[in-house]
Amino acid sequence: MSRSTIEEADARAGGDADRPAGQGRELRLLAVALVLAMSTWFSTAAVLGQLTAAWDLGSTAKSWLIIALQIGFVVGAAGSSLANLADRIAPRRLMLIGTTGAAIANAAIIPLNAYGPALVARFMTGVFLAAVYPPALKAMSSWYRAGRGYALGVMIGALTLGSALPHLINGIGELDWQVVIGATSALTLVGGLLAERLGSEGPYATAAAPFDPAKLRSVVNNREFRLASLGYFGHMWELYAMWAWIAAFYGDVFINQRSASIAAFGTIGIGAFGCVYVGSLSDRQKRSTAAGLAMRWSALASMVTGFLVSAPPAFVLMVGLVWGFWVVADSAQFSTIVTEVVEPESVGTALTLQLALGFVLTVLTIFLVPVVRDASNWGFAFMLLAPGPIVGAFAMRASTT
């Protein structure tokens, strides 16, 4: 995502004369900040093999090490939504608070060095990350009206790269798990500092709003919000389970863990390009149409990939990259729709509510994938993810956005 690419897309969206000065700079800055800030998300998944050996973990224990963060995110997002925090505190200041807390909680795993305390640390990491992701989307929405689908596509692409980053750190040198955890914690803190210290609010920013419980009712009564959320829920049924277990899948495909980590980084990271592509597409046609296209391809890939575990590794990786490209490509469009169909002063609350409910579903599928794999094989384990994008695609057909 080069500077020239961003500026060309900005020009197509609204023309140089119509876009706010500094728009491209803010997009680049916030995207880099989000890449760094979200690096703690899969920090334990990237070193799960080492933690399994160090703490003698079984399949269920490994699942809960990942699920703990998802639950923490749900709790944090639900609390933020109920308190309207994303609409009461400046987005970048809220991001700094969230990244500071996430970095401290994630790093605490190193001195704790035990499974039980690590679960608590991962839960708290998720709570604090709920104050990073939604505010970042709101902050970028303050800079874009035309081209917003593309801009939020870049932001979700940044989140995707941040989620993949621990696999790259681990794959480069098969580092000790303490180094990976420490490095991702430091990167998360740097991301928050970049956003808060160097960024600024755009011309479409809304003033901080007082706490108002009626906002939730207004948001939920919005038909397009409900359809976008249904699409998002189908998307989330698939996405995080795929991201959480793709490295373990590649561990059964490749002959060494380093290759599996690099393959996992590539498969998750390529989704950043999918986000930008579908985001640009959504600015030229209906956002629901662009999202539905991604969900159909992703559903197909989820039904095929797991059955290829014994195929030549290069072919498995090729198919996995296709899945990785499409599995997250639709994500930004559900958030973009929300920013366009709810009242401006309720955008932060609406985004956080949608995210909180969507992440509840991830807990179930992250838990089920290894259970089904142990009972049968990777093919059926990944196939159980397909109903999510299928349902989401039907929701997008019903949407008018």
Find the mean pLDDT for residues 310-328. 96
> Percent of the chain beyond pLDDT 90?
50
Structural domain range at position 117: 7-398
pLDDT of residue 88: 77
**How many whole angstroms separate alpha carbon 373 and alpha carbon 361?**
19
Counting the structural domains of the chain, the total is: 1
User: Which tens digit of pLDDT belongs to each residue from 226-268?
Assistant: 999 999 999 999 999 999 999 999 999 998 888 999 999 999 9
Q: How many angstroms separate the Cα of 388 from the Cα of each of 103, 194, 234, 241?
A: 32, 35, 4, 11
Residue 97 in any domain: the answer is yes
Return the sign of the alpha-carbon dihedral for residues 316, 359, 29, 336. Answer: positive
Residue 224 has pLDDT above 50, yes or no: yes
CATH number at residue 359: 1.20.1250.20
Mean predicted confidence (pLDDT) in 160-168: 87
Q: Report yes or no on 187 lying in a domain.
A: yes
In a domain, 2, yes or no: no
| Contact yes or no for 84/211 (Cβ under 8 A) | yes
- Which of the pair, 372 or 197, is modelled with greater confidence? 372
Domain contains 129:
yes
312 class by beta-carbon count within 10 Å (0-12 exposed, 13-18 middle, 19+ buried)? exposed
Does the pLDDT of residue 189 top 70, yes or no? Answer: yes
213 — pLDDT class (breaks 50, 70, 90): low
> Strand, coil or helix: what is 145?
strand
The pLDDT confidence band at residue 156, using thresholds 50, 70 and 90, is: confident
Predicted confidence band at 309 (pLDDT cuts at 50, 70, 90)? Answer: very high
pLDDT of residue 15: 44
Mean pLDDT of 363-392: 95
- At residue 12, the pLDDT reads 42
pLDDT of the residue at 346: 74
Assigned domain for 352 exists = yes
Task: Kindly tell me if the per-residue pLDDT of 41 is higher than 50.
Answer: yes
Backbone angles phi, psi at 129, to 5 degrees: -65, -20
- What's the pLDDT at 103? 97
**Is 1 a member of any domain?**
no
- Within 10 Å of residue 211's Cβ, how many Cβ atoms? 11
Task: Tally Cβ neighbours within 10 Å of residue 293.
Answer: 19
Task: Identify whether the C-beta of residue 302 lies closer than 8 Å to the C-beta of residue 385.
Answer: yes
Please give the mean pLDDT across all residues of the chain: 86
Here the tokens at position 3 are 């500077």
Separation of alpha carbons 331 and 335, rounded Å: 7
CB 189 within 8 A of CB 99: yes
pLDDT (0 to 100) of residue 208: 57
| 391 occurs within a structural domain | yes
Contact 72, 10 (CB under 8 A): no
Residues 60-91 have pLDDT tens digits of 899 899 899 989 988 988 887 677 776 678 88
CA 349/CA 192 separation, integer angstroms: 21
pTM for the whole thing? 0.79
Residue 139: the pLDDT is 79
